[in-house]
């Protein structure tokens, strides 16, 4: 048999740092998959807790698990790119250490990608859970269903903020070569918050992005997440410095999305349709902001005490 035929078709990549509290559950969810021919690649970014010990225990009992412990922490984006570049499978899933897959996730997503050669990324719907594993809500990714024409679906990946809950599809199954190409073309960001946007914009220029009408994955909301760490770091800055940093970050994301769109191989007609949609979206947002500010001023004026009307007009 050739080396190619021995390679697993799917890699599940877990980049982790200090994930001892939840990573065992994430690993178990992968090992419980109905589709069993996969590689589980875990890259520990020099954790300071028991993450490495937990991963080694699982790896010692299952040859499908490849565990790599980094000698130094080189940042979350570097670690994400590491599992992407090292993935042996033709298909890749990014799994956060505190999330979990339902047992048919790989089987269902793989079938969808094999049946639709135009698709570059497929997701499922999501169950959002809290730190204890209790259900918070369900996220239904209805706006990127396969039956919706791609010309309409693709518009959502070139606007800020990305439409509703579409960013969750970042955690679906993608073609690994596309994932490697995308991450190799993105400069390491200062903030990982909303990394989904530049990644999804680029993937949308490579093929279709779709969702299955099934809940096949758990997404955990935790107070110790990277997002909350970055928010807490920004909160320590002055209001002026925080506003500048956030404004620069958002402006950079918007410019990146538009640059990716204009540099894509979309037809001129499709680019124009997307630009019109995005322009209308931003205009509506601007009107909404202006109306909100006007109402706020009106409320303040109505609450102000009446001016005295004495002889001096004071």
Domains of the chain by start residue, with CATH: 6-229 (3.90.550.10)
Cβ(274)–Cβ(158) below 8 Å: yes
Which one, of 188, 187, 148, lies nearest residue 166 by Cα? 148
Query: Torsion angle, CA of 140/145/148/154, rounded to 10 degrees?
Result: 90
> Exposed, middle or buried, 197 (CB in 10 Å: 0-12/13-18/19+)?
buried
pLDDT at residue 240 in the model: 82
Cβ(124)–Cβ(108) below 8 Å: yes
pLDDT at residue 310 in the model: 43
pTM recorded for the entire structure: 0.88
Cβ(42)–Cβ(14) below 8 Å: yes
pLDDT at residue 308 in the model: 44
Residue written as tokens 């509506």?
284
In order along the chain (314 residues), what is the average pLDDT of each group of 10 residues?
74 97 98 98 97 98 98 96 98 97 98 97 98 96 97 95 90 98 91 90 98 97 73 76 85 95 97 96 89 73 51 39
């Amino acid at each position: 048999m050739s080396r190619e035929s021995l390679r697993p078709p799917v890699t599940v990549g877990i980049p982790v740092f200090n994930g001892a509290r939840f990573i065992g559950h994430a690993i178990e969810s992968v090992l419980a998959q109905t589709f069993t021919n996969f590689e589980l690649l875990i890259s520990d970014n020099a954790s300071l807790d028991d993450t490495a010990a937990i991963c080694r225990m699982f790896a010692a009992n299952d040859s499908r698990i490849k565990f790599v412990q980094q000698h130094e922490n080189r940042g979350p984006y570097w670690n994400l790119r590491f599992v992407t570049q090292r993935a042996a499978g033709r298909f890749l899933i990014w799994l956060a250490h505190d999330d979990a897959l339902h047992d048919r996730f790989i089987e269902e997503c793989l079938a969808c990608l094999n049946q639709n050669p135009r698709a570059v990324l497929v997701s499922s719907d999501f169950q959002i859970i809290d730190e204890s594993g209790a259900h918070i809500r369900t996220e239904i990714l209805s706006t990127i269903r396969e039956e919706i024409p791609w010309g309409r679906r693709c518009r959502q990946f070139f606007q800020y903020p990305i439409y509703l809950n579409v960013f969750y599809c970042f955690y679906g199954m993608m073609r690994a070569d596309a994932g490697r190409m995308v991450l190799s073309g993105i400069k390491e960001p200062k903030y990982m918050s909303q990394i989904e946007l530049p990644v999804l914009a680029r993937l949308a220029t490579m093929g279709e992005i779709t969702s299955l009408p099934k809940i096949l994955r758990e997404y955990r909301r935790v107070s110790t997440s990277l997002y909350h760490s970055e928010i807490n770091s920004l909160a320590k800055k002055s209001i002026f410095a925080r506003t500048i940093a956030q404004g620069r970050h958002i402006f950079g994301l918007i410019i990146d999305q538009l640059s990716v769109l204009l540099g894509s191989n979309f037809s001129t007609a499709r680019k124009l349709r997307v630009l019109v949609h995005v322009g209308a979206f931003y205009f509506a947002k601007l009107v909404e902001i202006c109306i909100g500010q006007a109402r706020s001023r009106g409320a303040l004026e109505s609450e102000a005490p009446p001016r005295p009307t004495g002889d001096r007009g004071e």
